[in-house]
Amino acid sequence: MRVVLAEDLFLLRDGLARLLEAHGFQIAAAVESGPELTRALAELDPDVAVVDVRLPPTHTDEGLQCALRARQERPGMPVLVLSQHVEQLYARELLADGGGGVGYLLKDRVFDADQFVDAVRRVAAGGTAMDPQVIQQLLSRRGAESRPLARLTPREREVLELMAQGRTNAAIAGRLVVTERAVAKHTANIFAKLGLEVSDDDNRRVLAVLAYLDHGRE
């Protein structure tokens, strides 16, 4: 699996490259700036990009914007964004196109090798990987009772939280110690309450998570 890695700090970039290579990934390019990232994504067509939000020359959200432009040019290109702090807007922007293959992790998360590698694999496979701290912050926000998420039961909110972390129904069932059939029922109820009808074009799991993130911003 070919990876383009973008991180401006040499030690972290080198460490991430070594970690991914040790788990069977091929580092197609390891770059340190936005322009280098743009070129690498366009020329190398990687299986997944692991990108720091803040890259030179702007040191603002250069990495994120390069990744978003690349996804516009190649819809569905898997991108895992790393950030020093929780920025809900960044997570929302990644999910805004309704497609999968996106992730948002805090940099602290890379020190848990298994968790980080699992997130990279999940995103590369077209899934989502949202940092648990993002989810915790969203849960701490209070929304008005009239909003759609307020209609979810506590168990449905728990299932949606785990969906936002990128977990499959089987993984959710194992985490909650229930059957996959029960999880499927909760998921169907979540889709219905959020008004997400069956569609060949939309990933309803991603749209449900996007609704979740929108709720956190209100």
| Per-residue tens of pLDDT for the chain, all 218 residues | 999 999 999 999 999 999 999 999 999 999 999 999 999 999 999 999 999 999 999 888 899 999 989 988 888 899 999 998 877 677 777 777 666 788 889 988 888 898 899 999 989 998 888 887 766 665 554 343 336 677 889 999 889 888 877 778 898 999 999 999 999 999 888 888 877 766 544 456 766 776 666 554 44
What integer pLDDT is reported at residue 4 of this predicted model? 98
Two tokens, residue 27:
């580092």
DSSP result, 132-176: HHHHHHHHHS---TTSGGGGS-HHHHHHHHHHHTT--HHHHHHHH
CA distances from 101 to 56, 76, 79, 157, 161 (A): 25, 6, 6, 22, 18
What integer pLDDT is reported at residue 143 of this predicted model? 44
What integer pLDDT is reported at residue 33 of this predicted model? 96
Two tokens, residue 120:
């990279």
Residues 6+ apart with CB under 8 A from 17: 5, 27, 30
Domain annotation for the chain: domains and CATH numbers: 2-131 (3.40.50.2300), 141-217 (1.10.10.10)
Cβ atoms of 20 and 117 within 8 Å: the answer is yes
Question: pTM of the entire structure?
Answer: 0.71
What integer pLDDT is reported at residue 97 of this predicted model? 66
